[in-house]
């Protein structure tokens, strides 16, 4: 049986293989993974759209970059998120109150007489109030009231039109406090089309699992929030659920989960968003740090250039960590995400830990990095680990593309590698099917004696260090043919 690979006209590597059900396109170009972006609030775009309770659609612009994926999979492949600010449309629900930064004193919040501050609108709003905020800069630390509020930003001066999610900017008046904070009395809150910056956290929620809350974030930008000592620089959700869509998290800092941290018996969804250049200063979770025991869905996002562990010399989960933080099981589904240029000691892109169960499908992982350990680059793409009692984690992966991840912390090609594509320890197990594992150094797979890795129906190396079962219509990279479509 012959397998073929060809360079497409847009500079992508396309797989053709009679035993696979679909065509897969992968990134194998010269992109260094660092990425670029623009926007007045430092935002990059997202390809997705979503709608919430107020009937407004939010998303961000999409595009492709040098060496990026061509979403050629008929089942729908991932598309890297690049460029632009989150787009926002006019809400279908009218405002009950308005806010404008140039408003004078003695206002009542009506369109012709808007409030000057968001805090005034929060105070005056009734239950289920809808607040429209005009473009401009606001300096406030806001306590969210228990009123089930919906807040929309991005409006032009007369509130007749909207621009994007970068133009209504709320910065912390006191950098030692969150920009937005909420306690367990708040059961629902929606924020859409607002840029949030310079707080000890962008949003900080102390919830209550006995009375679950849902925080909805759409078309927002969280940037330059957090500090090196706390969890959750952009958004921190303690025992509170979240639905986050079409948003950007960039340049946030935290000990763990610099973009987002979420935990408790709650549901968590992150989709169509960009998680970029967030720095964790401790050892777990550079970008996203989650342990939600009800459910977790992470889909159609781009994780780019997030880091964990540089400060302490070791760390796990540069892009995202999903772990079991208590007695309840933790299950997560990842699909159609792009992970590139993320850094950790092990698990530069993805870390599954402490008995969590994760399913991955149609995800692209390329040019992720690992801190060298005695000169060895380990698990730059995926790390699956158990707890101290060897209660292993589980990964079920299908239609993944894991390409060119053998890079160190300085983005130099690694000369010594161990389990660069998938690295397992402490009783963990993983299965990989219908996937491409290519260019990941001399050691793509590694597991200790307590682990199990099965690879079938894939283009992948046919050897690993440790306990592995590799076979079932397997095509080692050296047996494939490479051609150029433009040259025939």
* DSSP secondary structure letter of residue 373: B
d(CA 297, CA 295): 7
Kindly state the average pLDDT of the residues 217-245.
Answer: 98
Predicted confidence at residue 1, as pLDDT, reads: 34
Highest-scoring range by mean pLDDT, 36-50, 134-148, 389-403: 134-148
pLDDT at 17 over 90: no
Compute the average pLDDT of residues 195-207: 98
pLDDT in tens, 236-272: 999 999 999 999 999 999 999 999 999 999 999 999 9
The Cα–Cα gap between 134 and 476 comes to 57
pLDDT > 90 in the chain, percent: 73
- In Å, what is the CA distance from 248 to each residue of 52, 169, 206, 256, 302? 17, 14, 23, 18, 10
Q: Are 77 and 336 in contact (CB under 8 A)?
A: yes
168-171 and 195-197: which strand pairing?
A: parallel
Lowest mean pLDDT among 66-70, 168-172, 303-307: 66-70
**Is residue 38 over pLDDT 60?**
no
More confident site: 461 or 55: 461
Residues with Cβ within 8 Å of 262's Cβ and at least 6 positions away in sequence, in order, are: 232, 235, 236, 237, 240, 241, 242, 268, 289, 290, 291, 292
> If DSSP codes are grouped into helix, strand and coil, which group holds residue 227?
coil
The strand pairing partners of 408, in sequence order, are 370
- Asked whether the predicted pLDDT for residue 49 surpasses 60, the reply is no
Distance, in Å, from the CA atom of 87 to the CA atom of 407, rounded to the nearest integer, reads: 35
- DSSP notation for 399-447: S-EEE---EETTSPBPSSEESSSEEE-TT-EEEEES-EEES--S--EEE
pLDDT for res 42: 46
| pLDDT band (50, 70, 90) for residue 14 | very low
Output the pLDDT for position 275.
98
Q: Higher confidence at residue 326 or residue 359?
A: 359
Q: How confident is the model at residue 43 (pLDDT cuts 50, 70, 90)?
A: very low
pLDDT at residue 2 is higher than 90: no
Asked if 185 and 212 count as a contact pair (C-beta separation under 8 A), the reply is: no
Residue with tokens 């150094």: 441
pLDDT at 59: 56
Q: What is the mean pLDDT of the chain?
A: 85
Contact 377, 414 (CB under 8 A): yes
CB-CB contact of 320 with 290 (8 Å): yes
Q: Which pLDDT does position 8 carry in this prediction?
A: 36
What confidence score (pLDDT) does residue 287 get?
Answer: 98
Q: How much is the pLDDT for 395?
A: 98
Give pLDDT, residue 388: 74
State the pLDDT at residue 391: 87
In Å, what is the CA distance from 252 to each residue of 63, 112, 184, 196, 268? 24, 36, 25, 11, 20
pLDDT of residue 442: 87
Position 467 confidence tier, pLDDT thresholds 50, 70, 90: confident
pLDDT computed for residue 317 by the predictor: 97
Which domains are seen in the chain, by residue range? 3-484 (2.160.20)
pLDDT of residue 256: 97
pLDDT digits (tens, 9 = 90+) for 412-466: 999 999 999 999 999 999 999 999 999 999 899 999 889 999 999 999 998 888 7
pLDDT at 13: 41
Kindly report, residue by residue over 266-292, the tens digit of the pLDDT.
999 999 999 999 999 999 999 999 998
């Amino acid at each position: 049986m012959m397998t073929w690979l060809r360079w497409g006209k847009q500079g992508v590597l396309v797989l053709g293989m009679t035993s696979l059900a679909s065509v897969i396109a992968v990134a194998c170009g010269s992109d260094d993974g660092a990425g670029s972006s623009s926007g007045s609030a430092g935002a990059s775009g997202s390809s997705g759209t979503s709608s919430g309770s107020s009937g407004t659609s939010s998303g961000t612009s999409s595009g492709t970059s040098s060496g990026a994926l061509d979403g050629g999979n008929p089942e729908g492949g991932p598309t890297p998120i690049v460029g632009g600010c989150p787009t926002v449309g006019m809400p279908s629900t009218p405002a009950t109150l308005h806010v404008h930064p140039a408003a004078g004193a003695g206002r009542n919040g009506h369109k012709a007489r808007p409030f000057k501050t968001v805090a005034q609108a929060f105070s005056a709003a009734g239950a289920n109030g809808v607040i429209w905020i005009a473009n401009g800069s606001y300096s406030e630390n806001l306590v969210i009231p228990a009123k089930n509020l919906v807040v929309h930003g991005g409006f032009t001066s007369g509130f007749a039109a909207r621009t994007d999610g970068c133009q209504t900017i709320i910065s912390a008046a006191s950098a030692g406090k969150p920009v937005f904070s909420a306690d367990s009395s708040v059961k629902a809150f929606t924020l859409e089309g607002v840029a949030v910056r310079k707080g000890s956290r962008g949003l900080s929620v102390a919830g209550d699992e006995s009375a679950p809350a849902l925080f909805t974030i759409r078309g927002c930008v969280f940037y330059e929030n957090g500090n090196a000592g706390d969890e959750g620089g952009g958004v921190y959700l303690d025992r509170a659920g979240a639905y986050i869509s079409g948003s950007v998290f960039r340049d946030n800092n935290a000990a763990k989960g610099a973009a987002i941290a979420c935990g408790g018996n709650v549901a968590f969804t992150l989709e169509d968003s960009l998680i970029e250049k967030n720095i964790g200063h401790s050892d777990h979770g550079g970008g996203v740090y989650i342990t939600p025991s009800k459910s977790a869905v992470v889909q159609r996002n781009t994780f780019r250039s997030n880091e964990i562990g540089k400060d302490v010399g070791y760390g796990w989960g540069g892009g995202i960590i999903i772990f079991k933080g208590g007695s309840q099981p933790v299950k997560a589904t990842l699909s159609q995400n792009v992970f590139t240029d993320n850094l950790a000691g092990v698990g530069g892109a993805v870390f599954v830990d402490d008995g969590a169960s994760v399913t991955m499908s149609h995800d692209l992982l390329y040019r992720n990095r690992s801190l060298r350990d005695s000169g060895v680059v380990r698990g730059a793409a995926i790390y699956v680990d158990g707890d101290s009692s060897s209660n292993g984690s589980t990964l079920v992966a299908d239609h993944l593309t894991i390409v060119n991840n053998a890079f160190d912390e300085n983005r130099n090609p690694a000369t010594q590698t161990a389990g660069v594509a998938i690295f397992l320890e402490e009783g963990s197990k993983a299965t990989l099917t219908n996937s491409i594992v290519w260019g990941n150094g001399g050691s793509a797979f590694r597991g200790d004696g307590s682990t199990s890795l099965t690879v079938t129906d894939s283009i992948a190396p046919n050897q690993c260090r440790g306990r592995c079962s590799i076979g079932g219509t397997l095509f080692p990279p050296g047996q494939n043919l490479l051609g150029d479509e433009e040259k025939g």
